[in-house]
Amino acid sequence: MADFRASLAGTAPASDLNPPLSALWWAAKGDWEKAHTIVQDDDSAEAAWVHAYLHRVEGDLGNAGYWYRRANQPAASDSLEAEWGRIVSALLL
């Protein structure tokens, strides 16, 4: 996690990151559109979880709920920062 957070000082995510982690990297950099583009065509449960998070960031809770269900994850109710960290930690395992 520390290395992932440190990488945010760069201009692009590491090339070996999977798409959901790359999307979270861009989300942390404030580029919602780029993050969303990365996960919107990925059918994995991990991408669906990130997709849910992104719609929560956007404030579209109905759409977020759909993606949480697709990811088989409970809808988050904690802070966006806490959820971001939880998803990153889970995907780095």
Q: Can you list the domains of the chain with their CATH numbers? A: 18-92 (1.25.40)
**Token output for 77:** 């109710």
Question: What's this model's pTM, rounded to 2 decimal places?
Answer: 0.95
pLDDT tens string for the chain (93 positions)?
899 999 999 999 999 999 999 999 999 999 999 999 999 999 999 999 999 999 999 999 999 999 999 999 999 999 999 999 999 999 999
In our burial notation (b when 16+ CB lie closer than 10 A, e otherwise), range 67-77 reads: bbebbebeebe
